[in-house]
């Protein structure tokens, strides 16, 4: 283990570590904590210049206010409507693609694989004008479906990379012996490989959920107005309306951040397994 376990260090070093750990965390999360406290601060505190002291009351009213007076609930709903089908779509398509690229040896295999990988890295702006035009032409501008279709397609690149590497690591003999038995390729996928992919599916679902929930650029390019816009884009327009009403901006930010945060804490192991794929090879 590196560094040397602190338990083996001399006593003063251990004490220093015990103090430094919470202190470092406090510093690290200082901006976030500030916003969290501001979100429960009554507007009157801000008016009187009480920005950092203890809030005079705990104003949960800020949260009620953003739900009553703004389309926040609608934005949140939109985010779910866009995010959940995207997770299903991208994970399903990448299971299929990953299987194809991991199991079959065909000539353009690596070419297709690296096309997925490379597509994943391109700047969004090089896609923006054609994708927006395509979405407008097909009547999908400012619809959930328009946003979902693009997200599914783009996330399939990253997810395929992940799935392919995962299936490659499975024992190939499983597939070979099934073939000897005369099991069809589809049934090999459906009944032998897919059940083994559960951890990968879980990891990707959590990751894609977080990515899409937090996505902002395409939300502004492909949608407008509170009817369809997800919460990231919604928060941007609310921020424009709430000039300097930081108690509301803060409460809105916290609300928008909550679903992925919950997802992360509930599915932490899968989340990190997905994110650190490839970081341990060799």
Number of Cβ within a 10 Å radius of residue 212: 27
Helix axes 144-168, 72-103, angle to 10 degrees: 40
Smallest gap from residue 216 Cβ to other proteins (A) = 5
Smallest gap from residue 92 Cβ to other proteins (A) = 8
Smallest gap from residue 118 Cβ to other proteins (A) = 5
Smallest gap from residue 139 Cβ to other proteins (A) = 15
Q: Which is nearer to other proteins, 196 or 275 (CB)?
A: 275
Closest CA to 248 of 66, 19, 47: 66
By 3-state DSSP, what share of the chain in percent is helix, strand and coil, each rounded to 5?
A: 75, 0, 25
Smallest gap from residue 93 Cβ to other proteins (A) = 4
Distance between CA 87 and CA 82 in Å, rounded? 9
Distance between CA 137 and CA 228 in Å, rounded? 18
Q: Residue for token digits 């990968």?
A: 200
> Is residue 152 a contact partner of residue 94, using CB atoms and an 8 Å limit?
no
Smallest gap from residue 69 Cβ to other proteins (A) = 18
Q: Which is nearer to other proteins, 60 or 124 (CB)?
A: 124
Burial, 43: exposed, middle or buried (Cβ in 10 Å; 0-12, 13-18, 19+)? middle
Smallest gap from residue 49 Cβ to other proteins (A) = 7
Q: Residue for token digits 């959920």?
A: 209
Q: Which is nearer to other proteins, 11 or 104 (CB)?
A: 104
Q: Which residues of 66-95 are buried (b: 16+ CB within 10 A; e: fewer)?
A: beeebbbebbbebbebbbebbbebbbebbb
Q: Which is nearer to other proteins, 241 or 268 (CB)?
A: 268
């Amino acid at each position: 283990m590196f560094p040397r376990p602190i338990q083996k260090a001399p006593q003063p070093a251990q004490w220093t570590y015990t103090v430094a750990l919470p202190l470092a965390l406090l510093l690290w999360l200082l901006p976030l904590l500030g916003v969290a406290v501001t979100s429960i601060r009554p507007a009157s505190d801000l008016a009187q210049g009480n920005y950092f002291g203890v809030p005079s009351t705990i104003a949960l009213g800020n949260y009620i206010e953003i739900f009553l007076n703004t389309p926040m609930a609608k934005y949140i709903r939109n985010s779910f409507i866009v995010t959940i089908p995207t997770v299903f779509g991208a994970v399903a398509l990448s299971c299929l693609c990953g299987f194809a690229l991991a199991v079959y040896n065909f000539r353009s295999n690596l070419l297709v694989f690296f096309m997925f990988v490379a597509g994943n890295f391109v700047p969004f702006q090089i896609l923006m004008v054609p994708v927006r035009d395509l979405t407008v032409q097909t009547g999908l501008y400012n619809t959930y479906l328009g946003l979902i279709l693009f997200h599914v397609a783009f996330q399939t690149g990253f997810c395929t990379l992940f799935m392919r590497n995962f299936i490659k690591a499975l024992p190939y003999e499983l597939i070979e012996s099934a073939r000897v038995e005369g099991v069809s390729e589809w049934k090999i996928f459906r009944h032998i490989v897919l059940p083994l992919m559960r951890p990968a599916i879980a990891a990707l679902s959590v990751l894609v959920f977080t990515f899409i929930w937090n996505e902002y650029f395409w939300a502004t390019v492909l949608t407008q107005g509170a009817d369809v816009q997800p919460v990231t884009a919604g928060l941007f327009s609310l921020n424009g309306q709430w000039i300097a009403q930081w108690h509301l901006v803060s409460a809105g930010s916290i609300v928008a951040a909550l679903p992925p945060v919950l997802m992360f804490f509930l599915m932490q192991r899968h989340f990190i397994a997905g994110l650190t794929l490839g970081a341990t090879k060799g």
